[in-house]
Amino acid sequence: MVSRITSTASRKDPEERRHEIIAEAARLAVAVGLERITLRAVAAGINVRPGLISHYFPTVDDLLVAACERALSDERSRLIPAEGTPLMRLAQMIARLEGGHADDLSRLWLNARHLSRHHPRLAETLVAQEELDRERLIALIEDGIAEGTFPAQDPLTACVRIFVAVDGAGAYVNSSLAGDSAAHHAAYRRFITDVAQWALGLPPDRLREKVDLVVAELSGP
């Protein structure tokens, strides 16, 4: 068994192997949390020895930072689409968040921000990832302003307000709200939509109608 794993590992190009290791660590980050990333866990996930992981990542902190960066980058492309009208792209983003389809992403951000308090390299990674998120959402907002869909004239201000709403709603992702009647109120469930409409100067329910359509599509029949 040992020789089989060793020979399998030796056949892969170093860049391919590094990519495989980071991808598995990123999967663990999203699925079970950054604290669960260990050299042994990643090795088990790709069927190699832990020593091979340490060859590429001498410490688990090195791997944790790389995994967080990869996971957040991958999720960004899914959360903020690049195709479609600005209004529909924004609706798709909000529908994933309000519909619970991006809860793993919200958990990862909460997890990473908590750990970054005592992890300077992780803190630097989060700053860089937040900047990339802002750039992507600002570009979407600028497209909407250019075509006359979004009345707002300050893309950065609108972007900041929307992301504050996203973070505020995401702060409850680990809470059990089943018995909380307020959690089912529209003001709670539609908080991101309502803030986005206000931040962009959209008429009442203009964005909400699109979000509802996307939520229905994501929920399936």
Same domain, 55 and 84: no
Per-residue confidence (pLDDT) for residue 220, from 0 to 100: 73
Contact between 112 and 161 under an 8 Å Cβ cutoff? The reply is no
Confidence of residue 219 (pLDDT cuts 50, 70, 90): confident
Same domain, 120 and 179: yes
% of the chain exceeding 90 in pLDDT: 78
Per-residue confidence (pLDDT) for residue 204, from 0 to 100: 86
Q: Give dist(CA 198, CA 161) in Å, integer.
A: 9
In a domain, 70, yes or no: no
On average, the pLDDT of the chain sits at: 90
In tens, the pLDDT along 90-109 reads: 999 999 999 999 999 999 99
In tens, the pLDDT along 147-161 reads: 999 999 999 999 999
Same domain, 166 and 87: yes
- Statement: residue 1 has pLDDT above 50: no
Q: CB within 8 A of 209, min separation 6: which ones?
A: none
Tokens of 221: 């029949």
- Rounded to 5°, the CA angle 185-198-170 comes to 50
In a domain, 72, yes or no: no
Same domain, 138 and 47: no
In a domain, 54, yes or no: yes
- CATH at residue 46: 1.10.10
In tens, the pLDDT along 5-60 reads: 444 445 789 999 999 999 999 999 999 999 999 999 999 999 999 999 999 999 99
Per-residue confidence (pLDDT) for residue 14, from 0 to 100: 92
Question: Which residue blocks in the chain are alpha helix, DSSP H?
Answer: 2-10, 14-32, 39-46, 50-56, 60-79, 86-98, 103-116, 120-146, 155-170, 186-189, 191-200, 206-219
Per-residue confidence (pLDDT) for residue 2, from 0 to 100: 41
Residue closest to 122 by CA, chosen among 59, 53, 164: 59
Per-residue confidence (pLDDT) for residue 3, from 0 to 100: 39
In a domain, 207, yes or no: yes
Per-residue confidence (pLDDT) for residue 188, from 0 to 100: 79
In a domain, 68, yes or no: no
- CATH at residue 141: 1.10.357
- Statement: residue 175 has pLDDT above 90: no
Contact between 86 and 147 under an 8 Å Cβ cutoff? The reply is yes
Same domain, 107 and 198: yes
Q: Which domain holds residue 54?
A: 2-62
Q: Give dist(CA 140, CA 83) in Å, integer.
A: 10
Contact between 150 and 200 under an 8 Å Cβ cutoff? The reply is yes
Same domain, 92 and 21: no
Looking at the 3D structure of the chain, how many domains does it have? Answer: 2
Same domain, 27 and 135: no
Same domain, 135 and 55: no
